[in-house]
Amino acid sequence: MTRKVFVIGGGLAGLSAATILASRGAPVTLLEAAGQAGGRCRSYFDAAIGGVIDNGNHLVLSGNRAVHDYLARIGARGVLAGPARAEFDFVDLRNGKRWQLKPGDGPLPLWVTRDARRVPGTATGEYLRYLPLLWAGPKARIGEVVKQRGALWDRLMRPFLLAVLNTAPEESSAALAGAVLRETLAKGGRHYRPRIAHPTLAAAFVEPALRYLESKGAKVRLGTRLRGLTLNNRHVMALETGEAVQPVDGRDVVVLAVPPSVAGELVPELTVPDDFRAIVNAHFRIAPPTGSPAMLGVIGGTAEWIFTFPDRISVTVSGADAIVDKDREELARLIWADVAKALGISAAMPAWQIVKEKRATFAATPAQDARRPEAKTPWRNLFLAGDWTRTGLPATIEGALRSGEKAAALAARHLSL
């Protein structure tokens, strides 16, 4: 009897697991509740903008190993755009000061000893305060580990940590922050060159994966929601969708790659994160001024990161719980004022769109990190994937793809592939 593989969820975690298992010859069926794959990493035509936009700006870094492995597997090399060296532009809207951070490529951070290359207003000793994060324990918060803060915190570390953790850094897990720092800043600039999907998230991460699955004979069923799992004390026995009940043999595999709240409903015995943080993204249909940086960090405003494209400008605000319930037009005007000031634009606000993700990621606190389950479950043929599982990283694209790798490895072992 041919063993079957059911991957539930077509976000990046599910696509990661599905493409790995399909590459090893497994007969994969991917079920996705939405009408399109990609989950939170999606692109769509927006009538207000009059063009295709991404739901948000998902930045990856050159050292994200799982990202590059995934893109190579699905035949999508070369879809990430970015500078040849690590370069980060910043502006402080409070005083108009601008600077560009250009760390060295090598692992020795000699650049922090040079006034011209450090963050303005910082001293070498400030950088040493963050070393304890590299070995912080699971219960520690960043605010407890880094107690002295100054210009480096305000102008680099807080914006960076807020972006990767999507949680106020002061209350965030020091261990998760340390994991990110070990793989990026601590390894040298060649590991954290910024990379942005080109031309869209879907074109880079989703559409090539779906084509790859089709080439391997996998079945992709969009608009198909899993409504229930039948479990005994050892195995998943059946999948219930709105259309039918699909029997599952104990030798088959089910990879559950859905949001944590959905996983908790489907498997009530499961402990999952239950506190979340918002992200707000703003999109404006206007060509940026010539010479605008591809990515600009904003200090002292509502906008946090401005991304420029040939035909539009997009803005991301992380940890956005304080503003997510504001009126959409009010938000657009508030953010546009920052964009206009940061990029030197005098034009009136153009066509715009606000995208709110109220439950964008789990709160990256020690308490929520402790609620993240392992990929392996008590049921022998059920495995979990998602950036909310125990990846050792915050809720990022890299974490999502690694979770798919982990689930796929366990599934392959069960299938004896």
- Give the pLDDT of residue 105: 87
End-to-end Cα spacing for the chain: 15
For residues 376 and 262, state if they share a domain.
yes
Cα dist. 203→62, 281, 314 in Å?
A: 19, 19, 17
One pLDDT digit (tens) per residue for the chain, 417 residues: 478 999 999 999 999 999 999 999 999 999 999 999 999 999 999 999 999 999 888 889 999 999 999 999 999 999 999 999 999 999 999 999 999 998 888 887 888 888 888 899 999 999 999 999 999 999 999 999 999 899 999 999 999 999 999 999 999 999 999 999 999 988 999 999 999 998 899 999 999 999 999 999 999 999 999 999 999 999 999 999 988 899 999 999 999 999 999 999 999 899 999 999 999 999 999 999 999 999 999 999 999 999 999 999 999 999 999 999 999 999 999 999 999 999 999 999 999 999 999 999 999 999 999 999 999 999 999 999 999 999 999 999 999 999 999 999 999 999 997
Please answer whether residues 5 and 29 qualify as being in contact, where contact means their C-beta atoms are separated by less than 8 angstroms: yes
Query: What are the angstrom distances between the C-alpha of 18 and each of 79, 209, 393, 403?
Result: 20, 9, 21, 12
Task: Answer yes or no: do 153 and 12 share one domain.
Answer: no
Q: Which of 124, 158, 189 is the last residue of a domain?
A: 189
Which candidate, 208, 215, 269, 179, places its Cα nearest to that of 37? 208
Same domain, yes or no, for 280 and 348? yes
* Domains identified in the chain, total number: 3
- Which pLDDT score, from 0 to 100, does residue 360 have? 97
Residue with tokens 């956005």: 320
State whether 205 and 160 are in the same domain: no
92 lies in a domain?
A: no
Whole domain around residue 76: which residue ranges? Answer: 45-82+276-362
Whether 311 and 292 map to the same domain: the answer is yes
CATH number of the domain at 34, please: 3.50.50.60
Tell the residue number behind the tokens 């001024």, with chain if given: 289
Same domain? For 268 and 388 the reply is yes
Cβ–Cβ under 8 Å, residues 35 and 44? no
Q: Is the peptide bond before 208 cis (omega within 30 degrees of 0)?
A: no
CA distances to 38, 95, 135, 294, 393 from 316, in Å: 19, 21, 30, 13, 20
**CATH number assigned to the domain comprising residue 337:** 3.90.660.10
Is residue 347 domain-shared with residue 224, that is, in the same domain? no
Other beta carbons within 10 Å of 106: 12
Is residue 394 one of the residues assigned to a domain?
Answer: yes
In a domain, 88, yes or no: no
Same domain, 305 and 175: no
- Domain check: are 383 and 394 in the same one? yes
171 with 285, same domain: the answer is no
Residue 335 in any domain: the answer is yes
In a domain, 194, yes or no: no
What is the structure's pLDDT at 333? Answer: 98
Instruction: Give the CA-trace dihedral at 303, 281, 81, 111, to 10 degrees.
Output: 30
pLDDT of the residue at 287: 97
pTM, full prediction: 0.96
- Give residue 265's pLDDT: 97
**Partner residues linked to 8 by β-bridges:** 31, 256
Residues 158 and 297 in one domain: no
Does residue 241 sit in the same domain as residue 130? no
Q: How far is CA 162 from CA 167, 297, 317, in A?
A: 6, 12, 9
pLDDT of residue 417: 79
Of 189, 220, 241, the residue that ends a domain is 189
